[in-house]
Amino acid sequence: MDTQTLTLILSTFAVLLSMLTFYLLYSKQDTKKNADPGFNTRQLQLQAYERLVILAERVALPNIVSRANQPGITAREMQLLMLESIKQEFEYNSSQQIYVSPLAWQALNNLKEQNMLIINQIAQTLPADARGFDLGKRIMEVIIAQDKKALHIIVLEALNFEARKLMK
């Protein structure tokens, strides 16, 4: 066999091998894309909205006060418990922001910030020897005064509205 024929055979073999490799790689990628034809990001989004509704409920001031209310603690200790609880709840669910609208995530962030601000402001108005019960009572008075304009209710309505849009 002469050199030209050998070169032609090797070149043809290399082209065929390249084509086969490309085909195999492409078909594997295509298989991965189509591995679960029923997979839908809508389901992930709905689950995220569900988790964020739970988050909004858990960081609502009446629920925070209820969970942090322990006999015998000072107002300062209760303040710290409530703030830490809000931070932990928020951090635990922060990954859900990739599935929801920026507006929904901003609403939840505003809820967190407002609740922490209210807790801190009310705690500052209490005397140094105030009990946790006093702080909880004052916070509940503020919530009752807000009536149905409490931010956690507005956030819940917004999350429900966005989730319902996804279900259509």
HSE on the CB side for 123, CA within 13 Å? Answer: 18
- What is the token pair recorded at 42? 């809508």
Residue extents of the structural domains in the chain: 41-167
Determine phi and psi for 99, rounding to 5 degrees: -100, -10
Q: Is the pTM of this model over 0.85?
A: no
Place 31 in a pLDDT band, splitting at 50, 70 and 90.
very low
With contact defined as beta carbons under 8 Å apart, do 137 and 84 qualify? no
pLDDT tens sequence across 66-114: 999 999 999 999 999 999 999 999 999 999 999 999 999 999 999 999 9
Residue type at 58 in one-letter notation: R
CA-to-CA distance for 93 and 48, rounded, in angstroms? 9
Closest CA to 152 of 163, 142, 165: 142
3-state secondary structure at position 74: strand
